[in-house]
Structure 1
Amino acid sequence: MAAGHSLADDLRSTAARHGDRPAVIDAVVTLTYAELDRIAQHVCDALRGLGVQSGDAVVWHGAKSSLAVAAVHGILRSGAGYVPVDPDGPPARAELIVGRCRPRALVADTTAREQWRTVAPDLRWQPLPTGYEEAGPLWCAIPDAAPRDRLANLAYVLHTSGSTGLPKGVVHTHASASAFVDWSVGELGLTEHDVIVNSAPLHFDPTILHLFGAARVGAAVALMPASAAPFPAAYVDFCRQVGGTVWYAVTSTLVWLTRRGRDLLPGLRSLRAAVVGGEVLQPGDVNTLFAALPAVRLLNVYGPTESNVCTFHEIRGPQPADAVIPIGRVLPGAEITVVDERLEQVEPGRTGRLLVRGTMLMEGYLDPEQTARAFVRTPDGRSWYASGDLVRENPAGDLEFVGREDAQIKSRGFRVELGEIERHLRALDAVHECVAVATPDPVFSNLITAFVTADRPDDVRPLPELLRTRLPHYMIPRHLVLVADGLPRNANGKVDRKALAELAARPSLAETPGLTLIR
């Protein structure tokens, strides 16, 4: 990466080389790189005319579309960083994020603008010229509140859930984002002939690869419509129609496709590379994918929003049924270490806390106090981001994900890793998905409830006895619950553990529709 490289540089240079090639494909319109570049310039000029300068934050709030991608590029070209807000989230949360972010401007589509009129009727909206009416209108508002101080080299701010209940604004610079894009382009061998399938919302970090990996080389990014995403047949059909060659999604999307759409997987034969991450990957799902697509490259990546991807492992062919799929080894430019409670490096094979530093790491959070809590200093004086994840190094030198530090609880006075319980639950072939959660108890500190999905109740009735043969008594879940319609998901497609914990705390758990109490 050249010194001072900006994400905004790529679109302009790619449009000059590949202006006639498709840049963004959605259900309504396909933009070429020349068209995308022109719209981005119109947005940039309009924002600068409203006083937006380098280092400002500008909120993007709207549905995923070709116009949304152009808006993001236009914000970046103006010198500002973009702050995407979940268009399907509650307006009150969007208002909270904007209040904490204090942007210079808000950019929205028509639907989002109408939502803002319900929570902030005093905002004054004006049309934002795009020069491309076929893509629909954009709107801009300047908040009355004074904007926060400008942040040097700001590229984007993504918001994640905070343990305090307040969203955490993760600040990435052009340097950290470009370092990840550099690796993605090189490792995946992206070219102008690729079509990158995007099924994630724009406020979710996989889109960094989708949008800016494509813009770096002149590939097309295909935005899956919301109407297709929930249905395996429609999902696969969209990938087939656009000729998708590269796919990056959360692991649960692969699990969903291999278990709900197994017979449809050959329809993805145009894929040459599949990248998954964010959750534990099971060998059964790997093997189902390879049975349908034996030539596909499959990468299991790891990295919280704060660090982008920092480790990866390429899975080469079918895996044994009892295999633990590693999260792999560190990427160039990143550094990791595995430490104990004293922040001293552990020996290979021992479980420890994963610390991260390097070029792909965030600048920090918008809230300085959150930043201070997230970083630790090892005895050698170096500062690291504490990921909160527990890992161990296997004999081959690859890291394996063990669980979360905050998933480590005490029950009956014993330390319990909920991830270990989940690993044994998955040992039964009939179990599709599983999550163990803890609820506070005045006597035992915590009680454990396990939620599973399977085809039939009888398929999971052996689980209590299986767990008794593999786990100490204090790790046996008090309740084992079969969920009929799949585990709940949050806006990013990950299992909603908070919602399951709330379910587990209900006194009337056994009477809840859609749940079957096995134990």
Structure 2
Amino acid sequence: MIYNIANLLEQSATRYPKKEAFKCLDISISYQALDTKANQLSSCLMEKDLVRGDRVAILMNRCLDSAIAVYGILKSGGAFVAIDPFLPLERILVILNDCGIKHIITTSAQTRKIKLITQISNVVKHVIGLSEDLDGMNVSWESIFLRPLDNYVPQTILEHDLASILYTSGSTGMPKGIMHSHHGLLSLAKLEADLHQSNSSDIIGNFAPLHFDQSLFGYFSGPLVGATTVIFPDAYVKLPASLSALVAKEQITIWFSVPLILIQVLLHGNIDNHDFSTLRWVRFGGEVFPVKQLRQLMLKWPHAKFINSYGPSEVARCTYYILDKPPATDAPIPLGTVWKNTEYKILDTENKDVKIGESGELVIRTATMMIGYWNNKNLTEKSFFKVEMAPGYHHVYYRTGDLVYENTNNELMILGRIDRQIKLRGYRIELDEIEALLQKNELISEAAAIVVKKDKEIPELEAVIGLVAGAKINTNEIIEYCKLHLPYYMVPQTISIIHKFPRTGTGKIDRKKIIELIESQTL
């Protein structure tokens, strides 16, 4: 039986010892070697005072070592906290401090950033992955892989132990840490394998970085069935022609990414000159896929089935809609229906079930649901909807914040948000967090963060600011200010100065009017 993620790898190492588990460019690692190296890392972490439940940061680019890091941490009883290496230093420190992270696992490519972190942070005690000495704090990968395992005793891990914390944008300006258990991640792996009917002959394309929940498919569902997961480096994901060629070369059978990557490959990937005949499934999620471009891609790859996949990070994924043929019209693609071991409700403003065709907030009850938000009890309680079945016993649903309705085919259709959260290029962004940062600048009196579409179908993040009386500022300076504090995907592409904000009848900033003015280029 498989009870936790450590068991998952151990089973595959026994069943498929010599098979490639993960591959990145010309480097690969077998299941047996991955299990051994993960045990060596686990042994080192426990020797460095890691106890069950400790959070361990993974700060590295997309590479093969990330798989060893994930499984080594989980085998030690720790929980991995994947941190985007491109984040501003200030935001990285916020996450490290919030989680009380004592151990960081990294690579030599991050040496400069790690040195800065260890000089500033009071919580980090050990760094694994640098060859360069850091006053005795560092252990190199080379020494890890020389560790004997004669006396290694695996950590006791229960299925509901903490396994991962994923940080996303928070409306108050503080990132939110989403906690997932071994049970939740294992349930996700099983459900995804079932959705694709995955098997050991599959080759999974892992296009998402580890701090993005789409990556969990390749890291866990692939090993569950003994498939090979190909990790695509950052440089390839950013270059459609190179990515397209590498996908064809690796003979990927299952693709899962945000629509933007697929759109870029369609438009600039030279796909007519490559062989994609091995593709069985092309799965996308994280944002809306424009139907026009989806149709074009499906016509290019008629042999593959396409899946629209939906789910907030708090539940990882929960719905799917399979497209067997290109859409005949430009009507929005349904979210579809929930997959197995999952149920939902659509609630009105009084938390009552709505009728078919009526809109309301989608709430989800599923095996993949988060434990809660790290270090934030109040937000956790607000995020759950509970139905009392008996005194002390509740069915617990996650409030997605998404406005949906159910059509006559019993398919869920998305209408938007009930708050100001957006999805852009697959990343979840709280517009309030951007506005809160802008208003911290002493020269800015008011700010509005918005999403606009000008000449292109792809949406752009912009901000409009008002200045305090007599203030003068260069908008490029404000963009640089944002880069110091926000992830790159949350930095407005354009900032405009406005002398007088349009207002609603209640005196609030009229963001809809601002969007109209920008899109018509009359602001």
Cα deviation per residue 1:299-353 (whole Å; 9 max; x = unaligned)? 1111010001111111120112232200111111122111110011111111111
CA distance in 2, matches of 1:151, 1:165: 32
CA RMSD, Structure 1 to Structure 2 (Å): 3.3
Report the AA paired with residue 139 of structure 2: P
Aligned partners of 2:87 and 2:488 also within 8 Å: no
Instruction: State the Cα distance separating 1:132 from its structure 2 match.
Output: 7.7
Query: Residue type matched to 2:255 in 1?
Result: W
Maintained 8 Å contact 1:254/1:285: no
Q: Distance in 2 between matches of 1:363 and 1:447?
A: 31
Q: Tell me if the contact between 2:206 and 2:232 (Cα under 8 Å) persists in the aligned partners.
A: yes
Alpha-carbon separation, structure 1, partners of 2:225 and 2:273: 28
With over 3 angstroms needed to count, the CA separation of the structure-2 counterparts of 1:333 and 1:517, relative to structure 1, is same
1:518 Cα deviation (Å)?
4.1
Compared CA separation, residues 113 and 495, structure 1 to 2 (3 A) = closer
Matched, 1:293 2:301: yes
Distance 1:94 1:258, change over 3 A: same
> SS at 2:238's partner residue?
coil
- Structure 1 position 106, deviation (Å): 2.0
> What's the counterpart of residue 126 of structure 1?
138
CA distance in 1, matches of 2:63, 2:381: 36
SS at match of 1:39: helix
Report the Cα distance in structure 1 between the residues aligned to 2:349 and 2:262, rounded to whole angstroms. 35
SS of corresponding position for 2:453:
strand
CA contact (8 A) 1:55 1:151 kept: no
Residue 386 of structure 1: aligned partner? 399
Determine which of 6, 9, 20 is the counterpart of 1:8.
6
After the TM superposition, which residues 294-443 of structure 1 pair with which residues of structure 2 at under 5 Å, given as runs? 294-366=302-374, 367-377=376-386, 382-407=395-420
The answer (yes or no) to whether the contact 1:43–1:128 under 8 Å persists in 2 is no
Which residue identity lines up with residue 499 of structure 1 in the other structure?
P
Using the TM superposition, give the Cα deviation of residue 229 of structure 1 relative to its aligned residue in structure 2, in angstroms. 1.2
Give the letter for the 1:402 counterpart. L
SS of 1:35's equivalent in the other structure is: helix
SS at match of 2:234: coil
Q: Is this contact kept in 2: 1:42–1:129, CA < 8 A?
A: no
Partner of 2:50: 52
Given that 1:46 and 1:128 are in contact with CA atoms closer than 8 Å, whether structure 2 keeps it comes out as: no
Return the offset for 1:189.
Answer: 1.4
SS in 2 for 1:172: strand
**Match of 2:245?**
237
Matching of residues 20-169 of structure 1 within 5 Å: 20-27=18-25, 29-121=27-119, 123=125, 125-129=137-141, 153-169=161-177
Mark the CA change 1:252 to 1:308 in structure 2 (over 3 Å): closer, same or farther: same
Contact 2:42 2:76 in 1 (8 A): yes
Determine the structure 1 residue equivalent to 2:203. Answer: 195
Amino acid at match of 1:503: I
Change (3 A) 1:449 1:131: closer
Aligned partners of 2:14 and 2:111: how far apart in 1?
Answer: 33
| Secondary structure, counterpart of 1:503 in structure 2 | strand
Mark the CA change 1:48 to 1:91 in structure 2 (over 3 Å): closer, same or farther: same
State the TM-score, normalized to the length of structure 2: 0.75
Question: In structure 2, what residue type is equivalent to 1:276?
Answer: F
Deviation at 1:36, TM superposition (A): 1.4
Question: Counterpart of 2:223 in 1: which secondary structure?
Answer: helix
Change (3 A) 1:13 1:377: closer
- AA paired with 2:194? G
The CA distance in 2 between the partners of 1:54 and 1:271, in whole Å, is 40
Question: 1:398 Cα deviation (Å)?
Answer: 0.2
Q: 2: distance between equivalents of 1:326 and 1:516?
A: 27
Q: 2:453, 2:519 within 8 Å by CA — same for their partners in 1?
A: no
Select 1:451's aligned residue among 450, 453, 463: 453
Contact map agreement 1:43 1:130 (CA 8 A) in 2: no
The question of 1:278 aligning with 2:286 is answered: yes
Higher relative contact order (CA 8 A, sep 6+): 2
Q: CA deviation at 1:285?
A: 2.3
Conserved? CA contact 1:92–1:119, under 8 Å: no
Match of residue 17 from structure 1: 15
Task: Measure the CA separation in 2 of the matches of 1:453 and 1:205.
Answer: 31
What amino acid is the match of 1:368? K
Aligned residues: 431
Relative to 1, partners in 2 of residues 1:259 and 1:343: Cα closer, same or farther, differing over 3 Å? farther
Question: Counterparts of 1:268 and 1:94 in 2: how far apart (Å)?
Answer: 39
Question: Which shifted more, 71-80 or 99-108?
Answer: 99-108
Q: 2:504 matched to which residue of 1?
A: none
Deviation at 1:114, TM superposition (A): 3.0
Q: 1:323 to 1:450 in 2, by over 3 A?
A: same
- Whether the aligned pair in 2 keeps the contact of 1:327 and 1:401 (CA below 8 Å) is yes
Q: How far did residue 133 of structure 1 move?
A: 6.6
TM-score w.r.t. the length of structure 1 is 0.76
1:372-410 Cα distance to aligned partner (Å, 9 max, x none): 2222345876432111111111111100111111249xx
